[in-house]
């Protein structure tokens, strides 16, 4: 209960725009960077001198965001560019990755920040997947796999754990009252989900943790750190589909989006993290979760190691759904 309480009322952030240091020479890719937390991540990295690719499906919104970021920054800031990417349409992801790879020879941090929550019932992706699963898990998984070669290449030129992939989870994946399924994820039912929209959202947020853990196992030995974050309870477009009454009731517990960015920035840049932290879960505004639930720990472990193997099964399911778009 104490850890949950501290996620609603976290201690002050320790890594902000005031002390992240110069990021010149580094390349970042941020999905969903046109608004909310992603916008603030882009703004902070741009002010620190980094080169940022703001990935999203609307060039108009992205260019407006880039203009706002530049207007709020100094002349000595970095570089920021738009990259077209529609996570809910798997056919757009390989072209996006190829566009990025044609322009860059390195990628220091991939922020899988974009997501959708509680869209109208029946919302589907271009390939017919439940929209939240497509946007929050399948798209980011495919994008990450396509960018692994450049991440590995970059890791060869940097210190261990300097190259990172940050996945976005949520407190909804931890608390049954917020939608977390009591019995975990039934992979056999993912292609035909019958849960409430909130439960489907919570499943994708658990899934992001599983994907982070799976990637850590896949490339941790190559010096790439993969973690997931609960950014915090913040005001962003993610809650736009919630009923008005719910939004009003939640309002006193919501923070400005920049605080969620501090959590992601900590996960991406903190020197407190090392390669042994691969697969860990980061909580607001930048701390390793001290005591994940026994159920989640069991889910992350393989059956051979005494766990349920749920995380591995979920990664394999995502791989099977996206393999045709590699």
Tens of pLDDT along 42-91? 999 999 999 999 999 999 999 999 999 999 987 778 999 999 999 999 99
Strands 281-283 and 287-288: antiparallel
Task: Please report the pLDDT score of residue 245 as a whole number.
Answer: 40
Architecture in CATH of 2-325: 3-Layer(aba) Sandwich (3.40)
Contact predicate 222/249, CB 8 Å: no
Tell the residue number behind the tokens 């691969």, with chain if given: 278
Task: Please report the pLDDT score of residue 252 as a whole number.
Answer: 62
Phi, psi (rounded to 5 degrees) for 273: -95, 145
pLDDT in tens, 237-266: 554 444 444 444 455 678 999 999 999 999
Active site residues: 169, 201, 205
**pLDDT for residue 194 is more than 80:** no
Give the C-alpha separation, 141 to 134, whole Å. 10
Give the number of other Cβ atoms within 10 Å of residue 98's Cβ.
Answer: 11
Percent of the chain clearing pLDDT 70 (strictly above) = 94
Average pLDDT over the chain, rounded to an integer: 93
Give the C-alpha separation, 322 to 29, whole Å. 21
């Amino acid at each position: 209960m104490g850890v949950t309480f501290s996620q609603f009322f976290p201690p002050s952030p320790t890594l902000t725009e005031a002390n992240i240091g110069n990021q010149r020479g580094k390349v970042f890719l941020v999905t969903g960077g046109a608004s909310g937390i992603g916008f603030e991540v882009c703004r902070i990295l741009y002010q620190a001198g980094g080169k940022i690719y703001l990935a999203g499906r609307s060039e108009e919104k992205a260019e407006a965001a880039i203009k706002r970021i530049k207007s709020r920054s100094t002349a000595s800031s970095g570089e920021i560019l738009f990259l077209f990417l529609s996570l809910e349409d798997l056919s757009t992801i390989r072209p996006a990755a190829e566009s990025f790879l044609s322009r860059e020879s390195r990628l220091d941090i991939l922020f899988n920040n974009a997501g959708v929550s509680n869209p109208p019932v029946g919302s589907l992706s271009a390939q017919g997947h439940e929209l939240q699963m497509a946007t929050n898990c399948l798209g980011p998984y495919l994008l990450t796999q396509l960018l692994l070669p450049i991440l590995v290449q970059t890791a060869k030129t940097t210190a261990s754990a300097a190259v990172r992939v940050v996945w976005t989870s949520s407190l909804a994946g931890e608390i049954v009252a917020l939608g977390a399924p009591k019995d975990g994820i039934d992979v056999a039912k993912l292609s035909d989900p019958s849960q409430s929209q909130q439960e489907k959202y919570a499943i994708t947020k658990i899934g992001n943790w599983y994907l982070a853990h799976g990637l850590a196992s896949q490339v941790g030995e190559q010096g790439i750190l993969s973690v997931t974050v609960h950014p915090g309870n913040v005001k962003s477009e993610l809650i736009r589909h919630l009923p008005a009454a719910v939004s009003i009731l939640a309002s006193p517990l919501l923070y400005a989006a920049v605080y969620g960015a501090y959590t992601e920035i900590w996960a991406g840049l903190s020197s407190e993290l090392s390669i042994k932290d691969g697969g860990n879960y980061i909580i607001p505004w930048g701390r390793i979760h001290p005591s994940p639930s026994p159920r989640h720990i069991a889910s992350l472990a393989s059956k051979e190691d005494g766990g349920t193997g749920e995380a591995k099964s979920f990664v394999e399911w995502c791989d099977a759904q996206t393999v045709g778009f590699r």
